[in-house]
Amino acid sequence: MKNHMISLKTLLTAAVLSAALGLSACGSADTAATAAEDAQESTETPEATETPEATETPEATETPEVTPEEETVVAYAMDTPAGQVMTAVQANDPVIVQSLLRIRDDAGELMAFSETTTAECVQILSEDPALQESFCQVLESESTEQIPVAEEDGSTKTLLVLAEGLHMTCGLEGEDELISPDSLSGSSEKNGHMVAIDAGHQAQGNSTPEPIGPGASETKASVASGTYGPSSGLNEYELNLQVSLKLRDELQERGYDVFMIRETNDVDIPNSQRATMSVEAGADILVRVHANGSDDSSVQGALCMAPSTSNAYVAGIAEECQRLASDIIDNYCAVTGANNQGVYVTDEMTGINWSTIPVTIVEMGYMTNADEDLRMASSDYQELIVEGISNGIDQYFAEGSSDSETESYDY
């Protein structure tokens, strides 16, 4: 497979040219990219002798000027990643544009470009030439020769522009896998639900005490750094984020809006705030992703936590929390094969007690068990984890579709 070295500016220009010129499906990325580069060269270095005198073009008045009323206004959602990119473009902020277009690693460093966000941007830009020009100007200094697009299995794809939109080319034993723009942009229809995901813990714990619930006299540390996997070498906060980012992507593919409490390990967010952030974002449910630990290294299995119906802070949503927990853990264990430890009912979790929407803590397994620790660190097993949790969320909303929607309540 050819190793195409194309700048982001060239790729996006080629995408728009492909659509405008109506290239056939068999058109190549090289053709589109070459056309874009030629177009740029022709506008950047015009020859004076090629410009005809005004007297030679008496029919120029036949081309009507576009009045402001005739200009095409492309609508896009401002609260989506692509919409935020467009806002940053209009603000002429290349740093923010790059940050929004690319994903971050566990350390928060910018890595490969997000295939979903990039594809959505191309679709917006293809309908708005003026915005496309602004985009190219903002990224004029873009020096990335090859744009990798992150894949969950750790491989990369090279972004190419083909005739009928943006496609991806994969290095699969010499074969090219073409993905349509619809599937690429995650344009599965929205299902009307928002899921908040809290990747439990953080790199540095915060021992500052906070009430375990609104008005409570009992306090706990604001947030801890979690347990540790001796066999995998992973900290719990690292594992939690790895799985949470993959869960985000999967849920978006299934049509959910997703609100992430954190997308990097270097944060300081108390457990009470994680709950309130989810409500303020408009989420329907909060799924808190954790891993377990035990003094007995032979213990393994998964469970979900939920409050009791006598909980002093969230009794009104306790049954919904328990239903959410049950749906997730049953599907989780069915997919992963993990030992099902069921729903653990507890009223001691700050991140549950401060929530006003259905919430559960998913304990994926025991990092203190060598076998389970290594499984959870495996990319393949993480895919199963994500599938199981997602199936459980699907079931929860499917079961509740005929009931009135659960409303958050004030304390």
Domains and CATH numbers, the chain: 8-184 (no CATH), 194-399 (3.40.630.40)
- Residue 70 in this model has a pLDDT that exceeds 90: no
3-class DSSP state of 20: helix
pLDDT at residue 407 in the model: 41
Instruction: Return the higher-pLDDT residue of 96 and 206.
Output: 206
Average pLDDT over the chain, rounded to an integer: 75
pLDDT at residue 49 in the model: 45
pLDDT at residue 107 in the model: 63
Determine the average pLDDT of the residues in 322-346.
Answer: 98
Residue 225: pLDDT band with limits 50, 70, 90: confident
Determine the average pLDDT of the residues in 233-259.
Answer: 97
pLDDT in tens, 100-115: 776 666 666 656 666 6
Calpha distance 105→199 (Å, rounded): 14
pLDDT at residue 402 in the model: 40
Neighbours of 157 (CB within 10 A): 21
Residue 207: pLDDT band with limits 50, 70, 90: very high
Determine the average pLDDT of the residues in 258-278.
Answer: 97
Nearest to 389 by CA among 361, 348, 358: 361
pTM above the 0.85 mark? no
Determine the average pLDDT of the residues in 279-285.
Answer: 97
Which regions of 205-354 does DSSP assign to beta strands (E)?
Answer: 206-211, 219-223, 257-260, 285-292, 302-306, 340-345
pLDDT in tens, 300-326: 999 999 999 999 999 999 999 999 999
pLDDT in tens, 74-95: 556 666 777 787 787 777 777 6
pLDDT at residue 102 in the model: 67
- Residue 374 in this model has a pLDDT that exceeds 70: yes
Instruction: Return the higher-pLDDT residue of 89 and 395.
Output: 395
Residue 159: pLDDT band with limits 50, 70, 90: very low
Contact yes or no for 39/18 (Cβ under 8 A): no
**Considering only 45-49, 167-171, 382-386, 391-395, which range has the smallest mean pLDDT?**
167-171
- Residue 335 in this model has a pLDDT that exceeds 50: yes
pLDDT at residue 189 in the model: 84
Neighbours of 308 (CB within 10 A): 14
Contact yes or no for 106/202 (Cβ under 8 A): no
pLDDT at residue 108 in the model: 61
Instruction: Return the higher-pLDDT residue of 346 and 170.
Output: 346
- Residue 175: φ, ψ to 5°: -95, 150
DSSP codes joined into one string, 26-83: T--HHHHHHHHHHHHHHHHS--GGGS--GGG-GGGGGSPPPPGGGS------TTSHHH
